[in-house]
Structure 1
Amino acid sequence: MFRQMRDAESAATLSFSFDGRPLIGRAGDTVAASLLANGVTICRETPVSGAPRAPYCLMGVCFECLVVIDGVGNRQGCMVPLRDGMTIETQHGRRQPEEMQG
């Protein structure tokens, strides 16, 4: 029974955008997994040098997958389940608390 529920869940597709580009993901996947599945290999730039970074550990330890989700920065893409209609953006540098509040 669990397998049937998981198969139905993974068959469901969700629409989201990354940097204004419309993409499709699978229900049950994280933001980071969905970005990688769509060929997105850079999701943030470091604050000091602007070096590109991408999801690395996919378990919440390294913080390389930080993105802006629905206007809120410093979100770990590997820890956030994808939802239909999400707006995800590349995080450029460090987000200040006042920027995160809108």
Structure 2
Amino acid sequence: MPIEIHIDGEPCAAEADELLASVLLRQPVPIFRKHPVDGSPRAAFCMMGVCFECLVEIDGVPNQQACVVKVRDGMQINRGLS
């Protein structure tokens, strides 16, 4: 069933119960965050919650692992890319 989430303030279609990392990897810019030390772009790597490369802010809560979170309607995602 299609739902709508918001990524960096922009609406995005997703399927209910889809993993957030899957949705983010389909974006035109599939970057999840910038490395806190050198600013290099990061994205999901292990897709099973071990590497922590997929950290994003979800509904105002920082450092959430996108690879283990299922999307839900109205979810607000902030990748902190700006």
Name the structure where helix makes up a greater proportion of residues.
1
Q: What is the aligned counterpart of 2:23 among 24, 31, 34? A: 34
CA distance in 1, matches of 2:74, 2:29: 18
User: Between the two proteins, what is the percent identity of the paired residues?
Assistant: 48
Cα separation, partners in 2 of 1:40 and 1:32, compared to 1, 3 Å: farther
Match of 2:56 in 1: 67
Residue 17 to residue 44, structure 1, CA distance change in 2 (3 Å): same
Provide the rounded CA distance (Å) in 2 between the counterparts of 1:38 and 1:13.
16
Instruction: After TM superposition, list the pairs within 5 Å mapping 1:82-97 onto structure 2.
Output: 82-91=71-80
Query: In the alignment, is residue 78 of structure 1 matched against residue 67 of structure 2?
Result: yes
Instruction: Measure the CA separation in 1 of the matches of 2:24 and 2:2.
Output: 14
Task: Please state whether the residue corresponding to 1:32 is helix, strand or coil.
Answer: helix
TM-score (structure 2 length as normaliser): 0.90
How many residues end up aligned between the 2 structures?
81
Question: In the aligned structure 2, how far is the partner of 1:91 from the partner of 1:41?
Answer: 13
> CA RMSD for the aligned pairs?
1.3
For 1:19, the equivalent position in structure 2 comes to 8
Q: Which amino acid aligns with 1:65?
A: C
Rounded Cα–Cα distance in structure 2 between residues aligned with 1:90 and 1:41: 10
**TM-score of the aligned structures, taking structure 1 as reference length:** 0.74
Structure with higher Rg: it is 1
Aligned mate of 2:38, from 46, 49, 54? 49
Task: Indicate if the aligned counterparts of 1:31 and 1:82 stay in contact, CA closer than 8 A.
Answer: yes
Shift of 1:37: 2.8
